[in-house]
Chain A
């Protein structure tokens, strides 16, 4: 049962990383790519960590895996904001849809 749940979470996690990469490739400007990477990749990492944590040998080992998540979240939040602010300071205008102006 736990095996299957864990396998499912791993595959869902891989899907989110894939979606993040697809977003990076397909989205038109740095701001929207930032959305894709920050949100999709972090959820993917959360799924992967949870998948491994429910299979861990001990409670402490599981918590150790889960401890990684908030650290990477803090990293992504800080780096994401820094990139957006830097892009703005560089004068990069957000991409707009032509017919929506």
Chain B
């Protein structure tokens, strides 16, 4: 089981690298913002899988904090996008 978890973790890591390179290449600035999405979902998944595969329980807390920061960041992002144009009510 822990071997499978480690295998999936490595597979997701490879996915993350490919996706980050693809997102960072753009072509538009909005494409590059996609990297923020990748860290939240794939990054957290890699963390919990590593925690499960190596029995490193504290990594779960790292994953939880990463998810929490992603959530706060996401809300801040959305609010910023909301106020950016100024002609909308809240």
B:33-79 near A, CB below 8 Å: 33-34, 36-38, 40-42, 44-45, 48-49, 52, 60, 63-64, 67-68, 70-71, 73-78
**A72 close to B12 (CB less than 8 A):** no
Select which of A18, A68, A92 is within 8 A of B48 by beta carbon: A68
Chain B contacts for A52, CB-based, 8 A: 5, 48-49, 52
Chain A contacts for B11, CB-based, 8 A: 14, 17-18
How many A-B residue contacts, CB cutoff 8 Å?
161
**A75 close to B38 (CB less than 8 A):** no
**A82 close to B15 (CB less than 8 A):** no
Chain A proximity mask over B2-41: 1 for CB below 8 Å, otherwise 0 = 0011001001100100110011000011110110111011
**A30 close to B28 (CB less than 8 A):** yes
Q: Given known contacts A17-B11, A83-B34, A86-B84, what 15 new A-B pairs fall within 8 Å (CB)? A: A10-B4, A10-B8, A21-B18, A21-B22, A33-B34, A45-B42, A52-B48, A52-B52, A68-B44, A68-B48, A71-B64, A72-B41, A83-B36, A86-B81, A90-B30
15 pairs from A and B in contact (CB 8 Å cutoff): A14-B8, A30-B30, A34-B37, A37-B37, A37-B41, A67-B64, A68-B44, A71-B68, A71-B71, A79-B37, A81-B78, A81-B81, A82-B33, A82-B74, A86-B81
